[in-house]
Structure 1
Amino acid sequence: MFKLSTLGIASSAGNLFMKHFTLSFLLFFLCSLGSSAQKGLEKSIDSLLQSTSPRPFNGVILIAKNGQPTYQKSHGYSNLATKKQLNINDQFLIASISKQFTAALVLQEQELGHLKTEQNIRHYLPEFKQQWADSVSVQQLLNHTSGITSWDKSLVFKPGARFSYSNINYAILGKIIEKTSGKSYAALTAALFKRCKMPSSTVPPLQNGKDRSIRLVKGHAENADEKFEEENILNLLDSPPMGIPATGMISTAADLTQWMHILYNGQLLTVSSYQEMIRNTVTRPHRWGEVKYGDGIQVDQLDKIDELSMSGYVPGFISTMIYYPQTKVSIVVLENISPAPNDMNRVFYFHDQIRKLYRNSL
């Protein structure tokens, strides 16, 4: 009995050891595969940045997992005239990515009971003279289904009928949340940035007498000769065709990475608000094909890969940020050059290639 019992114990111990060894080896093998894939991705991006066709890359890239950087690179100049090198912590105008922050502020105002997204514009801005203020809802502004294309013209289609991108939608949203909160847009964004621990983000003009845009790089727009010249876009940001709530935020790659980590991991909006942000989608044409647009955010599943994204273009700057919920990986690409907008595949060539390289690594 003693020998059989001892043999049984030894056998059990051996089985336990083999299971532990097999599990450890499997984990090591999977980690090795992950490390190899990461190194392959980094090498591919490094190689990509050396290309000058169809144009040169001039900006910063930050890829992170669970909010922690796994790859970051600055390539090119913060000022093309002086050849000052870019730094990963430099500030950029993020153009239409600004809309996502405005959308979040709108949903926060709704959480506080200050507004309802199904209400029309006139309800919150009775001073508006435009007739369409009675028929366009806050939600239709959020997902660009308002039909508004000009401050002074009639709607081009019935509100809610289809998608038509317009900065005016978000300029109006900025006015609405100023009215419902009793605070300036600058104050609202400052509080949001503080809550999200984004110390290098701001909006023009100065906040509390302090200029938080001291690391803002020079923007450069492409001319007819395919040369990049300095563009002072700051003077145009609050003009009627643009609007700071639609296009005017200043941020860094690190701050935008922090934003995605906070937003997509349930640390900012309530579950219902977040679902509203990504649920009220409409199909839009895009260089990636037809994608869905929610409240300041593109929401889609391509090739069974969930993807949340937004990009932006203003004279002098282009930007992209993408989040993959399944892997908790974020990608930020910011450039302080804006190629001519007649070919958006060329404009966003490097942004799209980095996206493709990451998706191929999965």
Structure 2
Amino acid sequence: MRCSSALTLAAATAVSLALTAGASVQAASATPAAHTPAKPDRAALREAIAVHPGDGMAGAVAQVYTSGQTWRGASGDVVSGKRVTPDAHFRIGSVAKPMEAVILLQLSAEGRVNLDETVQHYLPGLLPDTFDDITVRQLLNHTSGLPQDFDGAPAPSQDEVIEGRFGYYTFDEIVQQTLRPQGRNRPGPRFAPGTKQEYNSLGYRIAGELIEKLTGHSFRQEVTTRILAPLKMKETYAPARTARIPAPYVPGYVPASKGEQIDVNEQGGLPSSLISTTADLDRFMTGLLSGRLLRPAQAAELFAVPRDVHGKPLPYADGSHCNTGPAKGTACFSTVLMSVPLPDGSVMWGKTGGDLGYRSAAFATPDLNRRVVYGYGTASADGGGAPPLATRLIAAISAG
């Protein structure tokens, strides 16, 4: 049975469009346009975080930094009526991917891995022979051409998703169940490595397995030692098994087939299924972009999108990401982050995430003058499109 993060792959893909809503210019570089960020419009931010009809949210938290001021807010649990506080915990989904990338970049600086060496070299036998050589860098910048998690498996029903939420899987279990499935054809490569970009979670399952092999430690130990402890992210956890989110927490619900709202606070996932807060994710983005986690050579990877032999950004494979502005259809993911243009021409970098019942994002401009972090719990089935919360937050910090 699939893990919760894989079950919500389609929803996580839709969430990745969130911060691009209303933007008019695609990121072409890491340098933001000259502008003076507006001070936080607290009334607009309070309105942005409130649950509106049709949002599909149960409750939400957000933290915004602009013009030297920080605003934090929360909206209540519309299902139970309980209050949600700004310091509430939530599941961050793929916002953990940049942390995986940072660990491998740190290992690269230590001479323990070469990003341009192949997966087949470091993890012999992991990939079937039908796959060409894939480098570690291609895993991280989404140019591997690998299939998606559990590619080809029948889509589960909503009730099956809810029933299976307690499953906990290792990185290798997800890789093997995807590439060597029982009872169905094995998926092949989607394109030749290094020729296109396409957001891919399986590459990060392999990256997680590589971290554990290179270090001899669990991902939980490595992320704690290398990132959480140095940045004093004391409210961020990497559960080693199925776990409940500690109080206070953002509620997350998934409707069963008969309409009952099922609280999915407790669930499994995989070793990189982290729980955090908006304040801690802001610490991560601040620490990452201020140089506290990476040496200069590795920090250069933060804003470097993959390019072809002519120096042009690689094409993006489809319309799910990188689809805004004049550079529409070209790569917008670096080795660590994704870029998002704002209406004023500046660029934010970060990551979105989705776990069963939860959506999140953490973004910042390279100079850290503007930062946005949010997390919310769902109260409806997964849907497409940009989360209205993200659209409203971006509008609130872009005004003026």
Q: TM-score range by the shorter chain?
A: 0.7 to 0.9
What letter is aligned with 2:280? D
Stretch of structure 1 that moved more, 352-361 or 97-106 = 352-361
Distance 2:322 2:113 in 1: 34
* Change in 2 beyond 3 A, CA 1:44/1:198: same
Q: Supply the AA of the counterpart residue of 1:185.
A: F
Which of 269, 272, 279 in structure 2 is aligned with 1:254?
Answer: 279
1:75 aligns to 2:83 (yes or no): no
1:354 aligned to which of 357, 368, 393: 393
One-letter identity of the residue aligned with 1:74: A
Tell me the residue number matched to 1:118: 116
Aligned to 1:266: 291
What SS is found at the alignment partner of 2:332?
strand
Aligned counterparts of 1:155 and 1:141: Cα–Cα separation in 2: 13
| Aligned equivalents of 1:212, 1:53: Cα separation in 2 | 26
Q: Cα offset for 1:193?
A: 0.3
Please say if residues 76 and 86 of structure 1, whose CA atoms lie closer than 8 Å, have aligned partners that are also in contact: yes
Q: Distance in 2 between matches of 1:271 and 1:334?
A: 31
Q: Structure 1 residue 353: deviation in Å?
A: 1.8
Aligned match of 2:240: 205
Corresponding residue number in structure 1 for 2:376:
335
Comparing both structures, which one devotes a greater share of its residues to strand?
Answer: 1
CA distance 1:229–1:334, shift in 2 (3 Å):
same
**Cα separation, partners in 2 of 1:53 and 1:227, compared to 1, 3 Å:** farther
> Aligned letter for 2:60?
G
Match of 2:337 in 1: 297
In structure 2, distance between residues paired with 1:93 and 1:315: 9
Q: 2-side partners of 1:353 and 1:75: how far apart?
A: 14
Higher Cα Rg: structure 1 or 2?
1
Say if 1:53 and 1:167 are closer, same or farther in 2 by CA, change over 3 A. same
Aligned pairs (5 A) from 1:144-163: 144-149=142-147, 150=151, 151-152=178-179, 153-163=187-197
In the alignment, structure 1 segments of 5+ residues that lack a partner are 1-33, 239-243
Amino acid in the other structure paired with 1:292: C
Give the aligned partner of residue 63 of structure 1: 64
CA contact (8 A) 2:364 2:371 kept: yes
Q: In terms of mean alpha carbon deviation, does 224-233 or 294-303 score higher?
A: 224-233
2:87 corresponds to which of 78, 86, 89: 89
Partner deviation per Cα, 1:267-302 (whole Å, 9 max, x = no partner) = 111111111232134564438624611124112555
Contact 2:84 2:248 in 1 (8 A): no
Identical amino acids, percent of aligned pairs: 21
Can you list the C-alpha shifts for 1:180-208, whole angstroms capped at 9, x where unaligned? 112110100111200111011111216xx
Contact persistence 2:85–2:248 (CA under 8 A): no
SS in 1 for 2:297: helix
Distance 1:273 1:227, change over 3 A: farther
Give TM-score, length-normalised by structure 2: 0.70
Write 1 or 2 for the structure with the bigger share of helix: 1
Aligned to 1:311: 352
Partner residue in 1 for 2:7: none
- 1:299 and 1:307 in contact (8 A); partners too: yes
Tell me which residue corresponds to 2:47: 47
CA contact (8 A) 1:121 1:133 kept: no
CA contact (8 A) 2:245 2:265 kept: no
Deviation at 1:137, TM superposition (A): 1.0
1: CA distance, partners of 2:216 / 2:69: 38
Matches of 2:124 and 2:231 in 1, distance apart?
33
SS of 2:364 mapped into structure 1: strand
* CA deviation after TM superposition for structure 1 residue 146, in Å: 1.0
Contact 2:39-2:69 within 8 A present in 1 as well: no
CA displacement at 1:232 relative to structure 2:
5.3
Contact 1:189/1:202 (8 A) holds in 2: no
- State the Cα RMSD in Å: 3.0
